[in-house]
Amino acid sequence: MKLIKATAEIKKDMKKHRFRGRSIGFVPTMGTLHQGHLSLVEQSKKENNITVVSIFVNPTQFAPGEDFAAYPRDFETDKKALRELGVDILFLPGGREIYPDGYSTYVEVEKPGQVLCGRTRPTHFRGVTTVVLKLFNIVTPDNAYFGRKDAQQAVIIKKMVKDLDLDVTIRTLPIVRAADGLALSSRNTYLSRDEREAALALSRGLRKAEQFVGDGLRKAADIKQIVKKELEIGELIKIDYIEVVSLTTLEPFDAGNKDAEIDVNNTLTAAAIWVGKTRLIDNFILGDI
């Protein structure tokens, strides 16, 4: 596995691979890799000649007061895991490499970036799309891999790719969960034992709602209510949002009509909660991103 820190160097390498006709798979990450990330890497290995992983804790997707400084970093463990999976290139840019002094260009996918997580974190997706577009320009991947836990992120990145005619295919893979149901996330490391126990209400509530939908429940408001009821049991939990939205537009089904029904082929049921100081997200999807 080749470790590259400089943009100019990886660009040269990628040019060489392209010239030789090799397909390139890319997994952008912020490190502290878990099985969710590694499943993306494994898929990229299967589908491409060359797999590139980046680790960059992107400051522009954190608002002031969020956990940029505290975000877990475990580079040695990440490097070992990626080497074992046979990753070809690990790109590790420094902050100045991505955002040199005087940097002032941002890309924003307007509408779907302002709902769900975008309401609580209004500058978050602008930071994500900016860094992802930069990384796409540097790595020039044929395929890029994202997890469906960050479903809104995947929808927004797909829209950016479509709107800006980017030459990359976005592949999304299922949420990977711990044995107790908690969706894997680098932020799970923040949770105390009690908080982790309380956090399980999130996956439990969503799973329950998914089962009801499987049994024929269609009213968006009722689906939300099932998740809410489960989350309200836990004392340590504060609900940020529970929404049932179209997977393509991210517009809520029940905005303006409390009896509205979901589209069983195109629905994202997503929730975000605070457990103590930790913000967690989870979802279930009917359809394809």
| Least distance in angstroms from the C-beta of 204 to ligand PAF | 24
Q: Is residue 245 packed enough to be buried (19+ CB in 10 Å), middle (13-18) or exposed (0-12)? A: buried
**Closest to 42 (Cα-Cα) out of 94, 11, 87, 12:** 87
| Least distance in angstroms from the C-beta of 149 to ligand PAF | 9
State how far Cα 2 lies from the chain centre: 25
- Taking the C-alpha atoms of residue 12 and residue 89, their distance in angstroms, rounded to an integer, is 13
Smaller CB separation from ligand PAF, 150 or 210: 150
Smaller CB separation from ligand PAF, 131 or 213: 131
| Least distance in angstroms from the C-beta of 155 to ligand PAF | 13
- Looking at the DSSP assignment, which residues form a beta bridge with residue 2? 89
Smaller CB separation from ligand PAF, 131 or 275: 131
Token digits of residue 183: 């969706």
**Closest to 262 (Cα-Cα) out of 246, 249, 250:** 246
Chain contacts with ligand PAF (rule: CB under 6 A): 28-30, 58, 61, 128, 131-132, 150, 153
Token digits of residue 86: 């046979």
Smaller CB separation from ligand PAF, 43 or 198: 43
Torsion of CA 195, 177, 210, 174, to 10 degrees: 140
| Least distance in angstroms from the C-beta of 223 to ligand PAF | 26
| Least distance in angstroms from the C-beta of 232 to ligand PAF | 29
First to last CA, the chain: 31
Contact indicator for 40, 30 with CB cutoff of 8 Å:
no
Smaller CB separation from ligand PAF, 45 or 187: 187
* Residue 37 annotated in active site: yes
| Active-site annotation, residues | 37
